[in-house]
Amino acid sequence: MDTKKVYLAGGLFDLRQLAGNAQLAECLESSSEGRYKVYLPQDYEPESLEAKAIRDSDFRGVLDCDAAVFQFDGTELDSGTVAEFMAAKFADIPAVALRTDFRRGGDRNEEPWNLMCSFYPRTVSLVVDAMQLYVESGHASFGGVEASRKATQRLAELLLGKLDEVVSLPPVAVEGANRREDLERLLGM
């Protein structure tokens, strides 16, 4: 079996985000039965904490992966996640745009985010109402922590279906072109 490396992009700014990212990554890996290995950028910070070193490390992480998941939650999308998404799209990396935020924030399309992050090749969307998932996971019976675990496990299962779908799509990049090297040069890496 060919294991694919998947970049998991999203906010890294508070404990709730860090813990949620780690829990989702763990559930994805265990549920995939070896199909996917998750690259979690919060676990690969560079030795130098200077801004350019962090940026370059995250972009290298994206470009070294076979696919990526971009968490598009919040009333405004995280700008770093959007920058990583655009790098992945220009490098023709299969992507899943994931939203668990039940609030709507879109423009003139069905997807609940800014239309500039929509309509890209080799990109599929997964929009899940986190509150509904939490309630269905039995918070009233099991308590919040266990319901959160169950909801994250269910989300991982849904996400695996979307990853399988998007990695099966044929590349759009011109054969023989090295778009990743070109992109690294353009990004000044």
pLDDT tens digit sequence for 158-173? 999 999 999 999 998 6
Provide the b/e sequence for 67-76 (b: ≥16 CB within 10 Å).
bbbbbbbeee
Neighbours of 78 (CB within 10 A): 20
Q: In this predicted structure, what is the pLDDT of residue 62?
A: 96
Q: Concatenated DSSP letters for 146-167?
A: HHHHHHHHHHHHHHHHHHHHHH
pLDDT over 80 at 182, yes or no = no
Out of 3.40.1190.10, 3.40.50.450, 3.30.300.30, 3.40.50.300, select the CATH number for domain 4-186: 3.40.50.450
Closest by Cα among 160, 152, 157, 158 to 22: 152
CA distances in angstroms from 47 to 17, 18, 19, 20, 112, listed in the order given? 22, 19, 22, 24, 37
Look at residue 106 in the predicted model and tell me its pLDDT: 66
Report the pLDDT averaged over residues 24-39: 96
pTM over 0.95: no
The pLDDT assigned to 175 comes to 61
The CA distance from 109 to 39, in Å, is 30
The pLDDT score that the predictor gives to residue 188 is 67
In percent, the amount of the chain with pLDDT more than 70 equals 90
- The closest of 3, 2, 29, 25 to 12, measured between CA atoms, is 25
**Tokens 């999203």 appear where?**
10
Q: Which residue has the higher pLDDT, 178 or 48?
A: 48
The whole-number pLDDT of residue 109 equals 67
* Predicted local confidence at residue 172, as pLDDT: 86
- Rounded average pLDDT over 109-114: 80
Q: Is the pLDDT of residue 136 over 70?
A: yes
Report d(CA 110, CA 86) in Å as an integer: 20
